[in-house]
Structure 1
Amino acid sequence: MHASHLGVLLSGLLVSAKSASASSILFSGGTIIAFDRATNSLDVIRNGSVLVTDDRITSVFAGSIPPSSVSIPSDVEEVDITNKILTPGFIDTHRHGWQTAYKTLGSNTSLVDYFNRFGEFPTAANYPFTPEEIYYSQLAGLYEALNAGVTTTLDHAHGTFSNATSSASFQASIDSGARVFWAYAFHELENYPLSEQFAHYRSIFTEAPHLNTPTTLGIAYDGFGPNPNQEIISTIISLTHETNASVLTTHSVQGPYGITNSPEDFAAQSLFTSIPPTTPIVFSHASFLSAVGAQLLRTYNHTISITPESEMHYGHTHPTSHLILDRASIGVDTHFTFSTDILTQTRMWLQSVRRLLYAEVLNRWQVPVNNPMSANQAFLLATRNGGLSLRREDLGIIAPGAKADLVIWDGGTGPNMWGWRDPVAAVVLHGNIGDVEGVVVDGRWKKRGGKLTDERFEDVKMKFAEVARRVQDRVVEAGVGLPGEGERFVVSGLEFGNSTVVDVQVGEGDGYGGLFL
């Protein structure tokens, strides 16, 4: 695949990322936020150690001296993490990595505005990316995620505008060294028919450029409801079986938006029993999820991805998702418009749930006594629950046998982390990206000493700057705007409405202004 699809297009620039690695690493002397499988709960080990062998955690123990049952290889790399916190890597269960080059163009977008200007369809029609642009946009976005301690990403990859752009996006995911569940998005595009997309997906699976890397191949599709094409869905079901797809994901934004793709749609088409039991189904957003839909998720053991900042930014909200957090994980979504890190999303969700459930008591004219959601629960959503959403018991935890996807947090250099006692609260409520000192994926260093380890970092940074400028110039020059008067939302057919605009200035004007492009 490398040579046939991308070698000429990218002038030989696609060289697999190299990073410093040892056959074994011993992290010792720090505070470990481990996971106890017996009690199904977090287990904090102070002055603890973690032994990594190749891509797995082989031992977790208290103290810096291993017990007699633990054999330390002679070539082990010893890493002192005294006064630091070691956590599992964060897991992002919804993202569109190819859009990184749009950064800051969508600061004030609504969901309607996004659909008009930045989604897969307006991009394909008005300013399609070249394979080179897709590659560097995807790679830069994954660098940004790794830098923030996000070790696993479920990428709803709808930058699939041609065989070449699809291959470029997939190859960038592989080259990043991150753990990427890359879900090839099938969509009806004018110049790239579904038959070609299906054939190309099969060719990627057959050629398997991701073999022996942390990247896996999945499927994304948004036509399961409300008006499904049964022939397309039958093909997608067949593909999940043929390729043992690592994940199937779909956008579900119900309510006035009408983009259902709901658990009820899946049940009506017997999809829960047609998809292989080894393939997890992740319903992104699941805005306006119903009680029936929630019950179906619990019955068939599938999940939703909550993207807190996205739902606040775009306005599709989450009125019921706090009721199904046992089948939920956390995602980012369109990271070009807001934060890219799971820590920020987790903190936003924690506090928004607290606010919502406090209000239920206050509206009864009572004074709340207890806090309705804990920092521990938020941490689990960002780690363990993400692994379970992907049917991976070995992701999102620190325990023997788990994948060696780890984050080292500086426990005291920055004043924000001074004085911590509870390491979970320190990370969830006081930490920030600047505290992420090291990141390991599959037992390999991806960030160390506060810096990404990829030897191509500077070259990629410069190339991405060129790519982003080209892409942004095309978007600005195209001048695509909001829907015209009298138009209706294309999916649900409902009328458009205007939100009330706040006023932050005294006197004339409200301070809204425009973008500085």
Structure 2
Amino acid sequence: MWSLVLLLSSVLAPVDAASLLFTDATIISYDFSTNHTQILRDSSLLVQGDRIVELYNGTTPSSYPNDTTVVNATGKIISPGFINTHHHLWQTGYKTLASNTTLAQYFQRYGEFGPSIQHMTAEDKYLAQIAGALELVNTGTTTILDHASGDSSEETEDSILQATLESGVRIFHAFSVHDLGTATNWTVDLQIQKLRSLATDPRLTNNSLVNLGLSFDAFPSAPKSQIEELWSIVRDNDLSLVTTHHLAGPYLNDNSPTLLDSLGWLNTSTPVIFSHSSFISSSDIHVLRQRNQYISATPESEMHYGHGNMYSHLIQDQASLGVDTHFTFSADMVQQARLWLQNLRLRLYEKVLKDLQVPWNNPMTTEQAFHLITRAGALALRRDDLGVIVPGAKADLAIFNADTPNLLGAEYDPVAAIILHSNTGDVEDVVVGGEFVKREGKILYEGYGEVKRRFRESARKIQRVWSEMEWENYWEDSLFLGVTEYGTAEEIDTQRG
């Protein structure tokens, strides 16, 4: 543990204070008796160590610990840091390569089974991981469930984990066990050995920020003995969580709640997060509620790639939100909540409009959207100390400047102000575990300039290599995963001719 503390202190440049006192702010707290946000105005918040210890409703305390740094937060909105429950941080170097792609093309070009195995070095993945984590924290995201599928060798896994540890962000490192075929010597057996090793790694045991989990996508096809071995590792080492991709429908990928429940993975204290669940069934919905497990919907991803999310809103009471692949679009969790909210409003309005009726009510509130990126994320992770601003919770905070042109006058409803009016430029400060990681609009990671320089070189190389590759037309004379027919989406042109 001490070695990790020294490591983190060497790469971060936090404000050096044992206590932080934010005064005269608008604070978005939480009332557990009503399960709703509670707005505290002209109020103060005291942080000691990595936790919130006191809220002062409408007042500023006259006394506080001697080692306290006082931060005048007049005109600021203090929100819980945002929780992202599905992400692949290692892919940052692909940025803008897949701006007009599909999920089928993603599998061919950008996923864990594609050319990254041969063409991305451990250094590339280290830089992508650290750049991605800092990109997210810049937006106010303080907790990330990283489906860490970039491991194609022990060296690449080590580099990804090292960047994760150095980032200063709260990350659930869900190590991927996946059959990469003959493209690498990184066999499933070696991966399982590595998982066992990580479970006792002193850098991770009792780590307050980085927690080890498992990501696994082969529940329908893996040998029973392999699934049982993985569960024994999860159970015996008390891993923080399990996550799996679940699409179903034409995409097949059916790591479903119903299947995992039949395997005995859901009725335990271990959280299991199902990513996307685009074609979730009635049986799956029942199981999630029965076992109190959650999905992670990724609105922009599901629009961009064509996963769809036709049914996932039916389990919103057991849902959280994620970004998925920030190399293709925004890493901003507020944007994900906004897209989810407005898309769902439109779809439910259209049910009324198709009967030529006029909707009299709004289907979903801004507070519900805010819930999905704060408290709901914590519930998915089974961490009551995250996603809320209350005494005893972790001091993970996103602090918005409410004096910007787009937030000016929006103090009446600070939740709506964030969800519908804010942008990343309004996020002035970010605190993770009681430490500033962004201050006055600047990332505090020591050596960030050098990281950016090295990452640009890595990204240029990756983008050049991928742009020079010749790709087969996978949709011609073949089926998706050998089963589903490809279809042609209507293409829209904004110009004549």
TM bucket (normalised to shorter chain) is over 0.9
Aligned residues: 489
Aligned equivalent of 1:510: none
Distance 1:473 1:231 in 2: 42
Distance 1:353 1:13 in 2: 41
* Structure 1 residue 476 displacement after superposition: 1.9
Residue type of the alignment partner of 1:102: Y
Is the contact between residue 24 and residue 60 of structure 2 (CA under 8 Å) also seen in structure 1?
Answer: no
Residue type of the alignment partner of 2:260: F
Aligned equivalent of 2:82: 90
* Structure 1 residue 2 displacement after superposition: 13
Is the contact between residue 310 and residue 334 of structure 1 (CA under 8 Å) also seen in structure 2?
Answer: yes
* Structure 1 residue 267 displacement after superposition: 2.4
Q: Secondary structure at the match of 1:122?
A: coil
* Structure 1 residue 479 displacement after superposition: 2.5
Is the contact between residue 8 and residue 166 of structure 2 (CA under 8 Å) also seen in structure 1?
Answer: no
Matching of residues 125-204 of structure 1 within 5 Å: 125-127=117-119, 129-189=120-180, 190=182, 191-204=185-198
Q: Secondary structure at the match of 1:409?
A: strand
- What stretches of structure 2 of length at least 5 have no aligned partner? none
Residue type of the alignment partner of 1:183: A
* Structure 1 residue 268 displacement after superposition: 2.8
* Structure 1 residue 125 displacement after superposition: 4.6
Residue by residue, what CA displacement relative to the aligned partner does 1:401-427 show, whole Å, maximum 9, x if unpaired? 000000110001x21111112111111
Residue type of the alignment partner of 2:193: A
2:225 to 226, 231, 234: 231
Matching of residues 24-43 of structure 1 within 5 Å: 24-43=19-38
Aligned equivalent of 2:215: 220
- Mark the CA change 1:50 to 1:14 in structure 2 (over 3 Å): closer, same or farther: closer
Point out the more displaced range, 57-66 or 310-319.
57-66
Q: Secondary structure at the match of 1:145?
A: helix
- Mark the CA change 1:408 to 1:484 in structure 2 (over 3 Å): closer, same or farther: closer
Aligned equivalent of 1:366: 357
Residue type of the alignment partner of 1:265: L
Distance 1:93 1:107 in 2: 22
Residue by residue, what CA displacement relative to the aligned partner does 1:323-374 show, whole Å, maximum 9, x if unpaired? 1111000100011011111011100000011011111111232210110100
Residue type of the alignment partner of 2:67: D
Is the contact between residue 22 and residue 76 of structure 1 (CA under 8 Å) also seen in structure 2?
Answer: yes
Matching of residues 43-442 of structure 1 within 5 Å: 43-66=38-61, 72-127=64-119, 129-189=120-180, 190=182, 191-211=185-205, 212-225=207-220, 227-273=221-267, 277-412=268-403, 414-420=404-410, 421-442=412-433
Q: Secondary structure at the match of 1:120?
A: coil
Point out the more displaced range, 438-447 or 354-363.
354-363
* Structure 1 residue 40 displacement after superposition: 1.8
Distance 1:375 1:326 in 2: 15
* Structure 1 residue 112 displacement after superposition: 0.5
Residue by residue, what CA displacement relative to the aligned partner does 1:276-323 show, whole Å, maximum 9, x if unpaired? x23100000011101110110000010000100000011111111111
Distance 1:38 1:498 in 2: 50
Matching of residues 449-464 of structure 1 within 5 Å: 449-464=440-455
Q: Secondary structure at the match of 1:59?
A: strand
- What stretches of structure 1 of length at least 5 have no aligned partner? 4-11, 508-517
Residue type of the alignment partner of 2:432: V
- Mark the CA change 1:167 to 1:78 in structure 2 (over 3 Å): closer, same or farther: same
Q: Secondary structure at the match of 1:174?
A: helix
Distance 2:80 2:409 in 1: 22
Percent of residue pairs identical: 45
TM-score (norm 2): 0.95
Is the contact between residue 398 and residue 427 of structure 2 (CA under 8 Å) also seen in structure 1?
Answer: yes
Task: Give the aligned CA root-mean-square deviation in angstroms.
Answer: 1.9
* Structure 1 residue 481 displacement after superposition: 4.0
Is the contact between residue 92 and residue 129 of structure 2 (CA under 8 Å) also seen in structure 1?
Answer: yes
- Mark the CA change 1:28 to 1:57 in structure 2 (over 3 Å): closer, same or farther: same
- Mark the CA change 1:180 to 1:76 in structure 2 (over 3 Å): closer, same or farther: same
Q: Secondary structure at the match of 1:244?
A: coil
Aligned equivalent of 2:14: 19
Distance 2:248 2:360 in 1: 34
Distance 2:167 2:261 in 1: 37
Distance 1:269 1:213 in 2: 31
Distance 1:270 1:460 in 2: 43
* Structure 1 residue 213 displacement after superposition: 4.0
Distance 2:473 2:196 in 1: 38
Residue by residue, what CA displacement relative to the aligned partner does 1:144-203 show, whole Å, maximum 9, x if unpaired? 000000000000000011111111111111100000001001001232101111111222
